[in-house]
Structure formats: C-alpha cells, structure tokens
Amino acid sequence: MPCHNGPVRADGRLVLAGAPIGQAGDVSPRLREALRDADVVAAEDTRRLRRLATELDVEIGGRIVSYYDANEAARAQELVETLKEGRTVVVITDAGMPGVSDPGYRLTRLAVEEGVTVTALPGPSAVTTALAVSGLPSDRFCFEGFPPRKPGERARRLSALAREERTMVFFEAPHRLHGSLEAMAEAFGADRRAAVCRELTKTYEEVRRGGLAELAEWAAAGVKGEITVVVAGHVADERPPDMAALVAEVERRVAEGEQRKTAVADVARAAGVPKRELYDAVHRRSSSP
C-alpha cells in the first residue's frame, strides 16, 4: 500500500520508480505505464531516460525535468508544489531505486511532511542482486553505501564496522576500489570473505570471490564498470582473542628485529583479528608508562 505519515491533504502522488541496473528488459509493465501516464517525470539524467523510453517503445506524455545531486534540494521543493496541485510525479534515477545512494530522499521526506501519498514501483537492485550471487550469508545484512573518499575517514568508518556480524554491502567507484579493499582488509582482516560484483546483469558481468587481501591484489591492476562489494560479517568466537598475548607476541618479534608493521600484520592474520585492532592495542601498550 502507498505509505504516508499523517492525513493526506493532497491528491498528488509521488512514485519512486526502480530503474533497470543493466538490462532494459528487466523493467515491469507498471513502469512503462507510469512513464506514459505521469504528469511529471523527474530524471537523474534526462538523456538516459529518453534512451530508456526509446528502448521500451514508451512515449512519455508528461513534462520531463532533471533531478540530480546538484539541484536536488531546490528541485524537491518545486516538485512538492506540483504534487500539492494534485499531480503525479515519477522519480527515476540512472539505475536502481531513487533514494538508495541516489537522489530521492529529500523529495520523499518533503512529500511525507506535506501529507502527499508516496509509493514505489519495485525494480532491480544492485544491493540484493549482489548479495544473492555473492555466496555469502544473506539472512541478515546491512547496506553501507559508498565508503568515505578520504583515507582517514574511510579507516574510521570501517574500523567501526569491524565487529558487525551482518553481511555488509557497499557501493564503490572503480578507481577507488583497490584502496577501499585494502582498507577493508586492514579493518576486517586479510582473509575475511568477500565478493566484488562488477557490471551486474550486463554483458560483461563478473563476480570475484575471495579474501579481502586477495581481492585487493586483483583490483590493483584496475577495474572498470559499476561495482558492488559484499563482505562477510564478523563471526563471533566462543572466546574473544587474548589481545594481551597477541601484543606480547608482536613485541617479542619486534625485539628480535622484525618491523612492527610486519609483525602486527602476521600476528593479526594468524589470529584472525583485524590488523587495525591489534595495531591500536600495540600502540596503547607502547604509549603507556
């Protein structure tokens, strides 16, 4: 059923339309009807929308407006006024569901606040498609969107997820994939199982599965296309690792001449703990009086 918060004060209707993530043939008959019958179609990329309409042999009868990151705030207010006039507005992004790492949230929030009916046309999702083909547990999962671009912020975000027990799904740009996989290997452990899903449903679809360090090494040569990364959650051990013993082992190796960075990496890998967690424990020990 359409969802709204509070009494509906307008006859307008906001439709969040899931777009195909690679194959135009994945669209539903309802999406065809929505594009044909809407008063306004707000598109992340109007050229892509027109190309999709041509592939579907659908004539868009309403007004087409752009709705993307740079104009989302201003356009959302304009579209809400259109909705309050009793019109139907369809929002469609380049791929997937509006509002999920794509424009759509601001408009949805404003429409709900104004009592306008909000509904959705379900469609293909890179999140659930990648989860399904990853081979990793799918009974409980969380979507983390794009990792922060700056290395320090990314490391802090991933460190906070090190003990997350649910399978995690991320989006990432191809030119940042190698760095993110390296950061994940450091935060979650080099052998944490993961899958990199590239160009899902498209001609050159590829799914690479393995440990995070192994996948980072593969990605170092460069990767192209739309990327979704699925990472296994932390498996809670019956007994937590003895960090004091692990720190002592690192200190023993360092005393024998091994570099601290190498010692931490080897001990963390052998114990199955995140490298960052062990490094922080070693640092605290060395800084204490």
Residue position matching structure tokens 């320090």 = 152
The pTM for the full model equals 0.77
pLDDT at 10: 53
pLDDT at 1: 45
| pLDDT block averages, 10 residues each, the chain of length 289 | 48 93 90 95 96 93 94 93 96 93 92 94 93 95 96 94 95 97 93 96 95 96 96 76 86 89 84 82 79
> Do residues 21 and 96 touch, judged by C-beta distance below 8 A?
yes
Residue 238, both tokens: 């019956």
pLDDT at 178: 97
Which class for 212: exposed (0-12), middle (13-18), buried (19 or more C-beta within 10 A)? buried
Residue 102, both tokens: 């794509």
pLDDT at 30: 93
pLDDT at 196: 98
The arrangement of secondary structure in 13-124, i.e. its CATH architecture, is: 3-Layer(aba) Sandwich (3.40)
Residue position matching structure tokens 């959705």 = 120
Angle between helices 260-271 and 275-287 (to 10 degrees): 130
Which class for 238: exposed (0-12), middle (13-18), buried (19 or more C-beta within 10 A)? exposed
pLDDT at 275: 83
Q: Which CATH superfamily is domain 135-149+161-231 in?
A: Tetrapyrrole methylase, C-terminal domain (3.30.950.10)
pLDDT at 5: 47
Q: How many CA atoms lie within 13 A of 189 on its CB side?
A: 21
pLDDT at 289: 62
Q: Where are the alpha helices (DSSP H) in the chain?
A: 29-37, 46-56, 72-84, 105-113, 126-134, 151-160, 177-188, 212-219, 243-255, 260-271, 275-287
- What is the DSSP code string of 251-267? HHHHHTT--HHHHHHHH
